Amino acid sequence: MTDRNSSPRDGAGTAPVLELDDVHVRYGGSHILQGVSFEVPATGVTALLGRNGVGKTTTLKAVIGLAPRSGRILLQGSEIQTTSTAKIVRGGIGYVPEDREVFGGLTVDENLRLVAPDQGVEAPVVGRLFPDLVARRGQRAGTLSGGQQQMVSLARVLLRDNALLLIDEPTKGLAPKLVTEVADVLAEVARTTPVLLVEQNLPLVRRIADRVVVLDAGRVVHRGAAADLVADADLTRELLGVSMRREGVA
Ligand SMILES: Nc1ncnc2c1ncn2[C@@H]1O[C@H](COP(=O)(O)OP(=O)(O)OP(=O)(O)O)[C@@H](O)[C@H]1O
């Protein structure tokens, strides 16, 4: 495994917010995570990368308790590998799954009031980061564009106080302009809350991630500074099978 945790942006010196130690996930006879170990520092964006099907989403699900896991997982030093998802969420992990999961029949405001009944779109964080959602407060979430639904998902999680955010491919399927908008929001969010981000868009990773963890076949194969990985065309091709010119962030 390559391990290049030497950047001044790597959060070294502070206690990690999340630690995975030899985490395994098995579905029936399939051994999906095969001893995953890494730390998420308490600041900035840690990007979890890897080719399709290597176990990135499964890693987030193992942390939040939605996949059958073994091994040790520590949130702010406390073991959570046997804790229920509801307790983990109450304990401070916000999870934005890949499939967005908005309530399509409810308005934008009603979706947010499920989490913050007294505030909805009036919550300061919504006005600050998602002015478009305030303007669309009465629109049914099912009629929003993919990017707008992504914003509802993100806003809903941000209505709570989180020690850590797990965000799974927030830009998947979005047009480049919306990718840029989501990237802006994530960069702003990460100023106050550490983020573990699954993302395939390397220009976005270069722009907002501080460090990367790369998985292959259920194992960590590389850790290091995001800038170092994306600057190394041979390494990105070797680890991810992509070149930096594939897609852009305006
Ligand atoms: N509930 C499940 N039951 C059986 N196998 C599963 C289940 N969930 C995921 N897998 C398998 O685990 C492997 C890892 O899936 P995962 O979704 O974690 O990959 P990923 O790295 O997030 O991929 P992608 O980039 O394509 O989203 C895949 O082979 C997938 O088919």
Which protein residue has the closest C-alpha to ligand 1 atom 9? Answer: 58
Q: Does 246 have pLDDT greater than 70?
A: no
Percent of the chain with pLDDT over 90: 68
Ligand 1 site, residue 32, Cβ cutoff 6 A: yes
For the CA of 32, the closest atom of ligand 1 is: 12
- Ligand 1 centroid–CA 108 distance in Å is 30
Residue with tokens 């051994």: 31
Which protein residue has the closest C-alpha to ligand 1 atom 24? Answer: 52
pLDDT tens string 101-130 = 899 999 999 999 998 999 999 999 999 889
- Ligand 1 centroid–CA 35 distance in Å is 16
Ligand 1 site, residue 54, Cβ cutoff 6 A: yes
DSSP, residue by residue, 39-93: EE-SSSEEEEE-STTSSHHHHHHHHHT-S-EEEEEEETTEE-TTS-HHHHHHTTE
pLDDT tens string 137-181 = 999 999 998 888 989 999 999 998 899 999 999 888 888 888 888
Percent of the chain with pLDDT over 70: 92
**What average pLDDT does range 61-82 have in this prediction?**
96
**Which of 28-32, 177-181, 214-218 is predicted with the least confidence, judged by mean pLDDT?**
177-181
* C-beta separation of 96 from 154 below 8 A: yes
* C-beta separation of 15 from 180 below 8 A: no
- Cβ atoms within 10 Å of 132's Cβ, excluding its own: 13
**Residue 55 class from Cβ within 10 Å (0-12 exposed, 13-18 middle, 19+ buried)?**
buried
Which protein residue has the closest C-alpha to ligand 1 atom 30? Answer: 53
Residue of 54, 60, 171, 198 to test ligand 1 pocket, by largest number of atoms within 8 Å of CB: 54
* C-beta separation of 100 from 154 below 8 A: no
**What average pLDDT does range 179-203 have in this prediction?**
92
| Local confidence band at 13 (pLDDT 50, 70, 90 cut-offs) | low
* C-beta separation of 186 from 208 below 8 A: yes
